[in-house]
């Protein structure tokens, strides 16, 4: 009985450890997304950069992600930007 139980316990421990790694990766991805609301100070669609100033006056330069089109934006637009911790824009939308 003990011989059969040991391999089952080892397999169960491996399964639990892999499940834990998958859950922690999902949590990490959720934590990395941040939101910035502010006004565009400058935009350069050719190089994929936009500088946004928030309500407190802090400016941040962000890089357009692969699905981000900056050509529809211009200086002075109020925007809401979702970006990753490394400064890459996930989504950007104009605010009224």
* Domain encompassing residue 83: 34-94
In a shared domain, residues 50 and 89: yes
pLDDT band at 74; cut points 50, 70, 90: very high
The answer to whether the beta carbons of residues 37 and 79 sit under 8 Å apart is yes
**pLDDT of amino acid 2:** 63
- What's the number of domains the chain is made of? 2
Give the CATH number, domain containing residue 70. Answer: 2.40.50.320
Alpha-carbon separation of residue 21 from 15, 27, 77, 89 (angstroms): 10, 10, 41, 26
Rounded Cα gap, residues 41 and 15, in angstroms: 50
In a shared domain, residues 50 and 23: no
Rounded Cα gap, residues 69 and 67, in angstroms: 7
Q: What is the mean pLDDT of the chain?
A: 83
In a shared domain, residues 27 and 46: no
pLDDT band at 16; cut points 50, 70, 90: confident
């Amino acid at each position: 009985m003990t011989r059969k139980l040991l391999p089952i316990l080892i397999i169960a421990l491996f399964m639990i450890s892999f499940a834990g790694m998958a859950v922690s990766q999902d949590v990490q991805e959720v934590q990395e997304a941040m939101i910035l609301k502010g006004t565009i100070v400058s935009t350069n669609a050719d190089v994929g950069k936009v500088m946004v100033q928030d309500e407190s006056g802090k400016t941040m330069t962000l890089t357009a992600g692969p699905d981000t089109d900056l050509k529809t934006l211009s200086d002075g637009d109020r925007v809401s930007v979702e970006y990753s911790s490394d400064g890459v824009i996930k989504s950007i939308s104009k605010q009224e």
